């Protein structure tokens, strides 16, 4: 057998684009190993994860001389072990990697709902201020709500769901879909006010969210998953851009336009 990726010992492995996205958003580099059976010619691909996150100065970040790197360092095997054993959920249930995995699961449910008409409702994730989709219907009081927030952005819809905004229906609009949510979001915790989806979406567009807001991490994770899937399918190579001081990293196509790069830098608040 032969592989297109040398030095595999320096990489961790996964076949899950969701896991890869959760790691990539932390600044952990991603590659794809395409292995080919020399006898049969059959091939398969494995996602390779760097053993630790990339220091910000290694990819163009500005570091003040004499000051420590403000970007957190993450060790891949540690993160993977904690996720797979369920220990990260216990020790740090609001960890960005877990939020990315929740957003990926929510996006998959929304895609299934668009494809098959499957109905979902929100259920609270035990021990954490987050929600997940389960089969079923939202209460009639939610479905009949007059105040509606609407978006055609599947990624944003998935993130809002994780943050407790219940879906009331999905409208088909040609080849696209519009997601309609109740403005009556579920309360995340007794001392945490329920979010207002229209206000949160406006703050996202305006770039006024706190740099560690879970919506920013989840949106970035979903975008990175798309980039990883493109990479797996051999469409484009990836380039990592990392936001200083936040730990958040973006994967963009190597041939991305200047306009796309500007939008990414704006999203990451890179001046």
pTM for this prediction: 0.80
Could you read off the pLDDT tens digit of each residue along the chain, which spans 271 residues? 334 444 445 788 898 999 999 999 998 988 887 665 555 666 667 888 988 876 654 444 444 455 444 556 788 899 999 999 999 999 999 999 999 999 999 999 999 999 999 999 999 999 899 999 999 999 988 888 778 999 999 999 999 999 999 999 999 987 889 999 999 899 988 888 899 999 999 999 999 999 889 999 999 999 999 989 888 887 556 666 766 666 677 777 666 556 655 665 555 444 3
d(CA 266, CA 12): 31
Structure tokens at 251: 């994967």
**Contact in structure between 102 and 161 (CB atoms under 8 Å):** no
Rg (CA), the chain: 20
Q: How far is CA 238 from CA 60, 243, 251, in A?
A: 16, 16, 6
d(CA 169, CA 119): 9
Domains in the chain: boundaries: 2-95+214-267, 97-206
Angle between helix axes 214-232 and 96-116 (nearest 10 degrees) is 70
């Amino acid at each position: 057998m032969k592989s297109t990726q040398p030095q595999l010992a320096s990489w961790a492995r996964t076949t899950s684009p969701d896991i890869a996205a959760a790691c990539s958003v932390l600044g952990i580099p991603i590659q794809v190993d395409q292995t080919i059976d020399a006898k049969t010619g059959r091939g398969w691909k494995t996602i390779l994860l760097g053993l630790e996150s990339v220091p910000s100065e290694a990819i163009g970040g500005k570091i003040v001389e004499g000051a420590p790197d403000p970007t957190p360092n993450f060790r891949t095997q540690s993160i993977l072990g904690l996720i797979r054993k369920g220990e990260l959920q216990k020790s740090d249930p609001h960890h960005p990697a877990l939020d990315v995995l929740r957003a990926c699961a929510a996006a998959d449910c929304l895609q299934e709902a668009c494809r098959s008409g499957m109905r979902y409702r929100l259920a609270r994730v035990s021990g954490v201020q987050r929600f997940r989709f389960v089969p079923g219907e939202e209460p009639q009081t939610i479905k009949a709500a007059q105040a509606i927030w609407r978006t055609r952005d599947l990624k944003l819809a998935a993130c809002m769901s994780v943050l407790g905004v219940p879906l009331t229906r999905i409208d088909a609009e040609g080849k696209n879909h519009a997601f309609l949510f109740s403005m009556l979001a579920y309360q995340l915790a007794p001392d945490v006010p329920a979010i207002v989806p229209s206000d949160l979406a406006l703050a996202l567009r305006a770039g006024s969210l706190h740099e560690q807001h879970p919506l920013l991490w989840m949106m970035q994770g979903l975008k990175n998953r798309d980039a990883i899937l493109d990479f797996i399918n051999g469409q484009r190579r990836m380039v990592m851009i990392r936001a200083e001081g936040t730990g958040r990293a973006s994967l963009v196509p190597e041939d991305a336009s200047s306009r796309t790069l500007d939008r990414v830098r704006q999203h990451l608040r890179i001046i």
